[in-house]
Chain A
Amino acid sequence: MANTNVNFVLHAHMPFVRHPEHERFLEEDWLFESINESYLPLLRMLNNLKDRNITYKLSICFSPTLISMLVDPLLQKRYINYLKLHINLGKKEVKRCQKDQPEALEMAKTYLENLEDNYRDYIQVYKNNILTGFKKLKEEGYLELLASAATNSFFPVYREFPIAINAQIEVGIQTFIEAFEFTPDGFWLPECGYYPGLETILAKHNITYFPASSQSVLFSETRCETGVYRPVKTENNVTIFPRDYQTTSLVWSHEGYPSSKEYREFYRDIGYDLPLDYIKPYIHEPDVRVFTGFKYWSITDKGLEKDYYNKDKAMKIAQQHALNYVYNIAQKGRAVRPNLNGKDPLFTLCFDAELFGHWWYEGLKWLETILVEQNSECASITLINPRDFIKQEGKGFQKIKPCLSSWSEGGYSKIWLDGSNNWIYRHTHKAIERMVELSDRFPNQQSLKKRFLDQAAREVLLSMACDWPYMIYNDTNSQFAKNQLVSHLANFNVVYSNMCKNAVNTEWLVKSESRDNIFPDIDYNIFELNNCKNM
């Protein structure tokens, strides 16, 4: 029977926002919210399906910055504190709602239950490291895990510096191996940012496939025979899984499923709703209101007045949306099959992992329904992971020359080179040039100088994160993004200016190593020019 294959890829990422110098740091809440509302509930859902003997295939990429934060003892401890604080808030909310807001009581209890489940799972099941849960599912054949660039760097704006791209890939893979104890063959390009020639560096690291945006294939100079509905190969045999924009946009667009009026309203939260004296213990100093995760309202409409959220009704709609999605994919599969020379189509669908549960509360129910549906006897789609699909059909993929592309607005690099953020590259490019200079002038150093140079390499990589220019472009937390970026660059310059005088600033080194403690095994020699011959 003809079949429609689906390669479902989740991308989990957080920029490096660890600040031990503050007792509580606001942006660290981004991480805690994602663990709380997406990663742990996702693990529970996946394990529950496994226990019900439901077979599924999903691909997940954890960015190296996220991996580093998830295994960091300080942040693990802080997450436990966050859980305790929010469990306390949950208990207080149940009491308050019983008396003052009975319409919200069911959801207050639901949130409290989720927090208590998270607390139990985090400490007892995963021993503070949730990556072990995903690793186990990988070993059991349910998940495929992809590596990614060290700090989520957008590669097309660094193509002049293949050595820095090589460093991003190498350190990203090292971090992956450290966390999951196997060598990856798939790689997630941050923002699906691709430029011609990148596959040479990927292949050097034994990467055999990567997902890419639709236009990498559609706007190639080669006539792509199968559109985005089959993988293609680059000249050096790296497989590209082009994403289907249309099917993805049924979810990921202003009018996608998550915008349905019965779904939970993300932007209304008791952290901003309730009187300050009540909510004060759960927000940040000095009186900085934040999301608490306790949200009782439905989207309703674009107006300001909202209806109370009805969870049962919303979850039923999420199930309907999931079945509708499966139907749409199957229909599209039938429509494109005649042009695929008798082959079955493969839809590559990529989403941010945090969409499910965190941004779109019902998203996990939606995903669960798809995973159950594709496992049924009369399923019209089959989930498959990229590795298996290559094994099965890899010989028949067309070779093309893919073109510059990304999955961001406009499809290229426009938002990374906007008037608001293009000043960044003068500094990050210079930092890369100087790092290369340091590696060439001071190769194979030992002891203190090596630590000093390793820290410089960390700061350069952190400055290359595309999160900072994105936040500046989007004007969300833009001052924080600027501070973070400038701090990494200025820290790098401490090493550069000291090494030019053949000195080491030990006070800076100790403090910097403690703050930016990412990539403990980094070797600054990756920036040595010999590393990028023929790239």
Chain B
Amino acid sequence: MILVDIDNLSIQELKYLAKQEGIEDFESLSKDDLIDELNDIYDIVDGTIQLSDRLQNTSGKRYVNSLTDITNSHDFQDLPGVVKLSELYMETSIHFMLSDLSWGFAYWSISPLTKAKLLEEDDSYLQNVFLRVSSTNNETNETVYNDINVDKDDTCWSINLAELGCTYQISLCVQNKAGIIIALAQSLALSVPLPYWFKNCEELEKNPILFNSSFSSIITKQGEYKDTLVVKSVMTKLAHGDINGKH
């Protein structure tokens, strides 16, 4: 963010701002016209015309994100032999990462060779690509499977992790019309912890000193807490007195 004085900007800078603001004929406008057009746009915030601001502020100062597309002006001179990156790679694999305790991200690719083999065997395989999410409870060892149907052209997916305290693994699968399933690739298995305080938040309610020495550390002086699944859950329970059925 930058605070600029519009009246002092060059015509190139004004044109850049005009382009960012979607003024169609910006190339043909004069400097004064560009300033007028931009002021008209800046005076409308959230659909409301900020007349008082405009009248008070005649100096033309505005906050903008940037003034020129400076990054594009840097020609990253490619070194000899450099070629563009591939969109996808020639192999079949799936990779899985944790975004937080309730979401993961998986990306995959199916190699042309695998595709050719599947087509040769039964062309209906590639019509039914899906992700099999296995979640194994870390305490009971019980495993539950959930299938997510994806399009054959999809290459990545955000995966909801329904429960804490489980180990998740994603398999990239195909199924033919006869119901035969082939797992093409399997991701790393990742464990999502079941935090102690998530299971035992009644201890916090009963013991303010304990609360102070643990959870208060993630609350700001304005009373905002670090917004995560665990904190939200514990705070909600404490705020609503859900523990012991109190309100």
By a beta-carbon cutoff of 8 Å, the part of chain A in contact with chain B is: 19, 21-22, 25-26, 156-157, 159-160, 196, 214-215, 218-224, 226-229, 244-247, 249-250, 253, 255, 265, 267-269, 272-276, 284, 286-289, 291, 303-306, 335-336, 338-340, 401, 403-404, 410-414, 417, 422-423, 425-427, 429-430, 475-480, 483-484, 486-487, 489-491, 493-494, 497-498, 505, 507-508, 511-512, 515
Q: How far is the CA of A411 from the CA of B101 in the complex (A)?
A: 10
Q: Which residues of A contact B78 (CB under 8 A)?
A: 487, 490
Q: Which of B33-41, B55-63, B123-131 contacts A (4 or more CB under 8 A)?
A: B55-63
Let me know if B175 is at the binding interface, CB within 8 A: no
Residues of chain B at the chain A interface (Cβ within 8 Å): 1-5, 8-10, 12-13, 53, 56-57, 59, 61-63, 65, 67-74, 76-85, 88-89, 95, 97-101, 103, 105, 107, 109, 155-156, 188, 190-191, 193-198, 200, 209-210, 212-222, 226-228, 230
Q: Please name 28 pairs of A and B residues whose Cβ atoms are closer than 8 Å in the assembled complex, sorted by A.
A: A159-B190, A160-B97, A215-B218, A219-B230, A220-B195, A223-B200, A245-B226, A246-B219, A250-B220, A265-B3, A268-B3, A288-B67, A289-B67, A304-B53, A304-B62, A339-B210, A410-B228, A413-B100, A414-B99, A417-B105, A423-B156, A425-B97, A427-B85, A476-B65, A486-B85, A491-B79, A494-B83, A505-B81
Q: Which of B8, B74, B216 contacts A480 (CB 8 A)?
A: B74
B228 to A, closest residue via Cβ = A411
Residues of chain A contacted by B79 (CB below 8 angstroms): 491, 494, 507-508, 511-512, 515
Tell whether, in the assembled complex, residue A219 and residue B221 are in contact, meaning their CB atoms are under 8 Å apart: no
Contact residue among A255, A289, A476 (Cβ-Cβ distance under 8 Å from B222):
A255
B72 in contact with A490 (CB, 8 Å)? no
**New A-B contacts (10) at CB < 8 Å, excluding given A246-B221, A414-B100:** A21-B77, A159-B97, A276-B13, A304-B57, A339-B210, A404-B98, A411-B100, A411-B228, A426-B156, A507-B79
Known: A218-B217, A414-B103, A489-B85. A483 touches B228 (CB 8 A): no
A-B contact count (CB 8 A): 231
Give min CB distance, B150 to chain A, whole Å.
15
The residue in chain B whose Cβ has the minimal distance to the Cβ of A475 is B65
**Which of B70, B83, B89, B218 contacts A26, CB < 8 Å?**
B70
**Chain B residue at minimum C-beta to C-beta distance from A243:** B217
Given contacts A336-B212, A411-B228, contact A273 B197 (CB under 8 A): no
Q: Is the CB of A417 within 8 A of B8?
A: no
Tell me, in angstroms, the Cα distance from A319 to B32 when the chains sit together: 46
A490 with B195: CB separation less than 8 A: no
Distance from A147 Cβ to chain B, minimum over Cβ atoms (Å)? 25
Q: Which of A160, A487, A490 contacts B83 (CB 8 A)?
A: A490
